[in-house]
Amino acid sequence: MTGAGSGIGKATALKLAAEGAGVAVLSRTESEVLETCRDIEPAAIRQFGDQLFSRALSSV
C-alpha cells in the first residue's frame, strides 16, 4: 500500500490487515512506516514495511 504512512493510505492498510490481508506498507518517511506497521501488527497475518525514495522512483 503506497502512502500507508498516513491518511487514506494508512486507513486502507489497517482495514485490509483487519480483514486478514497481508500488507506491504510503503511511505516516504521511515517513522510513518514503523508506526503503521506497529498499528497493523496485532491484526496482520503478514506485513512488510519499506521507505520509498522519491529519486529512485524516476528509475522505475
In a domain, 33, yes or no: yes
CA torsion angle 45 43 13 3 (round to 10): -90
Task: Write out the residue range of the structural domain in which residue 18 sits.
Answer: 7-54
Res 12 pLDDT > 70: yes
For 30-48, what is each residue's pLDDT tens digit? 888 889 988 988 766 665 5
Q: For residue 49, is pLDDT > 70?
A: no
Question: Residue 59: inside a domain, yes or no?
Answer: no
Question: Does a structural domain hold residue 39?
Answer: yes
Asked if the structure places residue 32 within a domain, the reply is yes
Task: Give residue 25's pLDDT band: very low, low, confident or very high (50, 70, 90).
Answer: confident
The helix/strand/coil state of 28 is coil
Query: Is there a domain that residue 2 lies in?
Result: no
The domain total for the chain is: 1
pLDDT at 60: 52
